Each structure stands twice: as structure tokens, then as C-alpha cells.
Structure 1
Amino acid sequence: MAACAAALAALTAVPAQAHGPEHRPPHWELKDTGTPQARFRGLAAVSRNTAWVAGTGGTVLRTTDGGRSWRDVSPPGAGELQFRDVEGFDARRAVVLAIGEGEASRVYRTDDGGATWTESFRNPDPKAFYDCLAFFDRRNGLAMSDPVDGRFRILSTGDGGRTWKVLPERGMPAAQEGEAGFAASGQCLVTAGTGDVWLATGGAARARVLHSSDRGRTWTATDSPLPAGDPARGVFALAFRDRTHGLAVGGDFRPGRPSPQAAARSSDSGRTWRPAAAPPPAYRSGVAWLPHSRTAALAVGPTGTDLTADAGRTWRTVDTGSYDTVDCAPDHGCWAAGEQGRVARLEH
């Protein structure tokens, strides 16, 4: 089951031309979505064949044939919404999050492959702005909002996204001045196992990672070494391959701005973070572990894709295409998505 990870790891040691035309190394293969006007920051890799993407203009697409064809399953009347996250449980069931102030933040759910949608949450608080959602399993999930009255707000569901409730704020540490989440890739809130969840922050003096081991009821905050001190800098995405080992990527999202120390790793559930010895060369907005690998992961951003073969200690650029988010399924189906309707699947 580690064949894909091993092949990707070989990229760090073997020049691409050495593989020959008949044996190309693993690479992104673009899939024509027919929607060049959309930017897809929401992505759910169900398998090599099935994936969901969600983006601007209220757009939601689904493929069940490996990207050869895409069905536009956008919720009716959602054209003014900005979808930034999607969680796909299978080819029929998915939950999507729209971001924005007040009522612009909404959650929709489908049980029939997007043929019909139910709006299950509309944010009633003008001070809240929801960024990301994540599920522990098919029933239990969370969504997070930027701080309201000085604390991040957590929304919880126990029925697969059909109903939602705001969790008490007493277990949430105080936010820093200007601190917020980044709705850049649907990965500012991630889970591992049955109860662990992490929240990525930026925009303040310190870029932090918050961790909860009880499904969002109580949290602890840890500083990360990623760029901070500006509204455009921070931790943009997290990935945990289990409840202990995690990766963080980010930087400064403004084009052309340097992003030193744009990646870090943790081996203690996010209690401490160590900067990568050789980080990605620029801002990265998405990150994903390769399935069934303890050491291989991909990070993506507007200027390229980077691979680590040593659990985040060092990264090497392997593609220069623009992507905002990346996700992998257990059957080694890895997908990336981004601007101008770009969606790609990792071929190997």
C-alpha cells in the first residue's frame, strides 16, 4: 500500500528525465472541469474516482469517473455565495460551507449527489465569519468562526450536518488582537481520530495552532514558527496523519512577498512545532499526507507543489502549477484544486 508514497519519495532523488517517457514519475494531471471562471478552495477526495470541489459563484462540482467528466451540482440560488470548504463522505453525501460576514456564512447538505440540497445553517450573528469545517466521522463534525467577542467560535453537529449548535466559549482561550483563520483551502480546521481537532490562525503577532482533544469543548493554544505579525501572514493549513504527527504550512499570501519558514512539523499533537530545515520556497495554502505513509506529504500554493519524504523536515518543489488545496483518499486518490477551474489528480 506504500507504493505511491515510495514513488513520490523517489522524486527527491531522481531527476525527472531519468524516468524516461514510458515511466513518468508521479505528477499532477489536469482534469477539465469546464468552469474556468471558478476558483476552487474547497476539495474532498473520496477516492481515485470520486471527488467534490466547491468554490466561487456558489459552484459545487462532483466527479465519479476520475475527473473525465464533472457534474455541476451547485445548490440552487447560491450564485452569490463563496464556498470555501466541502466534506464529502461518499459519492452521494456531502456538506459544503459558504463563508462571509453574518448570513453569508452558511452550511448546505446533500444526500443524493447534489441533486437536492438542504440549507442546515445560516449564521445569525453579524460578528461571526465561518472559515472551515471538519468531521471526525460521518455524523460528528465542527465548523469554526473567526473570533466573536475575543474568542474563536465553534459550531458542532452530531447528525452529519443536518443540525448545528454553537459550543460554549468558556473552553476557548482568548484570541490575540487581529487573530483570525484563513479560508484559503478548507484546512484551517482539521481532525484526527475520534476526538482530536486543530485550528490554524494568523493575522496577529504570533501564528498559532489551537488543539482540542474533546471535540472542541476545551482548547489549548501553541505558538508556531510560521510568519506572523501581519494580517496576511500565518498558518493557513494543517494536516495530521494521526493524533500525534502534524504538518503546518502558510506564510504571507501576498504575491511576491517572501515567506521564510513557511512550514513546520509537530510530533506531540501540536504542543510544540519545529520549523522545516528546508521549507517550501514560498507561501503554501494546502497540505496533505500521502495515504498509508508515515513520511510523505504534499503542500500546494499559487506558485507550486512541494513534496516532503521525511515527515516535514525538508521540502522540494515538484510542480510549478497553481493550486490552493490538496486532499488524498485512502485508496491513494490524491487531488488538487485552485484558480481558473483547475482540478488535477495525482497520476503514478
Structure 2
Amino acid sequence: MENTRRTARTVAAGLCAAALLALPAPAQAHGPQRPVPHWQIKDSGTDVRFRGLSAVGRDTAWLAGSKGTVLRTTDAGAHWRDVSPPGAADLELRDVEAFDARHAVVLAVGEGEASRVLRTDDGGATWTEAFRNTDARAFYDCLAFFDRRHGLAVSDPVDGRFRILSTGDGGRTWTVLPGEGMPAAQDGEAGFAAGGQCLVASGPHDVWLATGGGARARVLHSADRGLTWTASDTPVPAGDPARGVFAVAFRDRTHGLAVGGDYRAGLPSPRAAAVSGNGGRTWAPAASPPPAYRSGVTWLPGSRTAALAVGPTGTDLTTDGGRTWRTVDTGSYDTVDCAPDRGCWAAGEQGRVARLEP
């Protein structure tokens, strides 16, 4: 999953239009001329790959990456503090869920005991290991939280079903949920620990799980915090361990986006995006999808129709709710996230991190 391009360019004027969708009509018609938003690279001070990202706001964001690295900024990326857990250098951190500048939960992925959950309540000054997987068959991929207390983590199938881990105390303790409510997995089906968005929540109870590797790329949905699930096929190609849906985003419990493709460099990824208007029960292919594999997707705050998708070869923008996409930047990113105050961040290989400006 190595990236091929690392240059950063100004996001096209279409992104400016998307940002303006969140403004009141008078501001659009009579307000002062605004600069075109663009990804502004921030110096993270490291060369590790960041697949975990949590945007708290325009000033505060958390990154989680290889070599057990966790970074945090509270000054809009001008400085990054290394708050990595002690003794975690051998861990692959692929997801982080932050509640504010002090409280965060990170997920380490891998087989057996390599899969762990760690939590901090003091901005990363100290960490507590909240969960360590002891089942050699499990491989945890992603985290998602409904609120500051309730969250889930997902493992690739064990005994033919995806395994769900649940917390009700902010990630301090975790319990494996019963598997009876989970549909049977397809042969070879798994989640992708590619950008922390294979498991996402919206509202107090709804959560979606993106899959690939099986004969069909699917999105599974639970309306009761992971106790019972239904599965829906998507038009994103699968049938290979490297293909499927890598990330989903829901702006509410109804409107969803799915992106993915084939992560192998240089291989085509047709139909790499899909859209749902009924909570993930059915999915339609994007009429004009991103031109290549994408591993991250997020709705732009305040807009009902604009979203960004990122991957090794660029950033794509939709302004019609996911039906059509166009590339607006060619920089390499693995993950993207936006906070309610319109603070949008992206991160990826070689310590790459950027904030959407202005």
C-alpha cells in the first residue's frame, strides 16, 4: 500500500464552493471575497505513516501511526507534541478517537496480542492499556464512538463472524459482544485497517462496518450499538484480498458514502465509490467516481452535499452528495477527518499532515 505521489497543490475552486455551502446565503451574495481553501502542509517532525487521525477542531488534532507514534497539536499544527505511549514502538497504531485535547483512545492492530486499545486522560502524558487481545484468531481494525462513553472496535471474522468489542465507560474497559446478531462472513471477507474509517458511528445508536476481500464488498449496519447487524452489498468491486470498501462516512443516520477500490499501486479501481440515501440498506455506484483507490472519506461540516475523499494519489471532492467526484489535489493522504467547527485535517505517509486552509 505504498503511495506514488507526495506533492501538495492548491485545492481547486470547487472546494471553495463546497466550503461556501455551509455559509448563510447573504454571506455568499454580499460577503467579502474569501481565499480558495487548500491543504496546507504542517511539519509533524517525523517520517512515520499516520493512518489514524482525529480532528477535535481547527486548533486541535491527534495522529496515530507506525512505530507506536501518537502526536497531538493544540495550535493548528504549528507544533506537534510527541505523546506516544511508552514501550509502544513495536505497535502499529491505525486509529485514534479523541474527545478533546486531553482524552483520547488509540487502537493498535495486528494478530493476537498486537491488537490493543490504549487510553489517555491527560493529553498523552500517561497511558493505560485498556484491552489486549488474547485470541490469536482476532485482528482488530477500527474504532468508533457514539459519544464520550459508548464505543466499539471491530475485528476481522472469528469463527465465521466479525467480532465486536464494546465499551460503555469511554474506553476504560471493553467487552466482546455476543456474535449471534452478526451475519455470517463471506469467505475471505475482512475489514481494512487503512485509515480508521472501516467502522463509523452517527448518532447515539447507529454504526456501519465496511468490508472487502470477499466475493462482494459489503457495508454492515447496526441500529443498536453493535448487538444486531444487517448486511448490504455495494457496487464497489471485491473478489480479491486487496479490493473492497475501505471507508464509510454518514452525515446522519440516512445519508452515507463509501469509498475504496484496489489498494495495490498502479492497479485500476473502477467504481471506487458508492452512495446510500437509506441508511446503508442499498447502495448506488457513483456516476463519476474517484479515478483511483481511496482510503478515507468525510463530509464537510455544515454541508448536506459536499465531502472529501483521500488516497495515495489525491483528494477528490463531491458537491452533489457523492454522485460525482473530481480530483482537486494530488498529494498523498491515507485518512481525512473534519470537526464541527470546520477544522478539516488529512494525514498519511512520511509524516505527512495537513489542515484545510483558510
Sort the TM-score into its range (normalised by shorter chain): over 0.9
Residue 16 of structure 2 aligns to which amino acid in structure 1?
A
Q: Check 1:205–1:24 CA distance in 2 against 1; reply closer, same or farther (3 A cut).
A: same
Is contact 1:5–1:291 with CA below 8 Å preserved after alignment? Answer: no
TM-score normalized by structure 2?
Answer: 0.92
Is contact 1:42–1:83 with CA below 8 Å preserved after alignment? Answer: yes
Query: What's the CA shift for 1:121?
Result: 0.1
Query: What's the CA shift for 1:80?
Result: 0.1
Supply the distance in 2 between the matched residues of 1:10 and 1:231 (Cα, whole angstroms): 36
Give a deviation string over 1:257-313, Cα, whole Å, max 9, x none.
000000000000000000000000000000000001100000000000000000001
Supply the distance in 2 between the matched residues of 1:210 and 1:10 (Cα, whole angstroms): 30
1:187 alignment partner in structure 2: 197
2:103 alignment partner in structure 1: 93
Matching of residues 72-111 of structure 1 within 5 Å:
72-111=82-121
Is contact 1:304–1:317 with CA below 8 Å preserved after alignment? Answer: yes
Residue 7 (structure 1) aligned with residue 39 (structure 2): no
Query: What's the CA shift for 1:315?
Result: 0.3
Residue 120 of structure 2 aligns to which amino acid in structure 1?
T
Supply the distance in 2 between the matched residues of 1:134 and 1:193 (Cα, whole angstroms): 11
Residue 27 (structure 1) aligned with residue 38 (structure 2): yes
2:28 alignment partner in structure 1: none
Query: What's the CA shift for 1:7?
Result: 2.5
Query: What's the CA shift for 1:227?
Result: 1.3
How many percent identity over aligned positions?
Answer: 79
Q: Check 1:273–1:77 CA distance in 2 against 1; reply closer, same or farther (3 A cut).
A: same
Matching of residues 145-294 of structure 1 within 5 Å:
145-294=155-304
2:338 alignment partner in structure 1: 328
Is contact 1:5–1:293 with CA below 8 Å preserved after alignment? Answer: no
Residue 129 of structure 1 aligns to which amino acid in structure 2?
F
* SS across alignment from 1:346: strand
TM-score normalized by structure 1?
Answer: 0.94
Is contact 1:5–1:290 with CA below 8 Å preserved after alignment? Answer: no
Give a deviation string over 1:183-225, Cα, whole Å, max 9, x none.
0000000000000000000001000000000000000000000
Gaps in structure 2 of 5+ consecutive residues: 1-12, 21-32
- Root-mean-square deviation (CA, aligned residues, Å) is 1.6
Q: Check 1:162–1:10 CA distance in 2 against 1; reply closer, same or farther (3 A cut).
A: closer
User: Following superposition, which runs of at least 4 residues in structure 1 exceed 2 angstroms of deviation?
Assistant: 4-11
* SS across alignment from 2:154: strand
Is contact 1:294–1:311 with CA below 8 Å preserved after alignment? Answer: yes
Q: Check 1:110–1:5 CA distance in 2 against 1; reply closer, same or farther (3 A cut).
A: farther
Gaps in structure 1 of 5+ consecutive residues: 12-21
Query: What's the CA shift for 1:332?
Result: 0.3
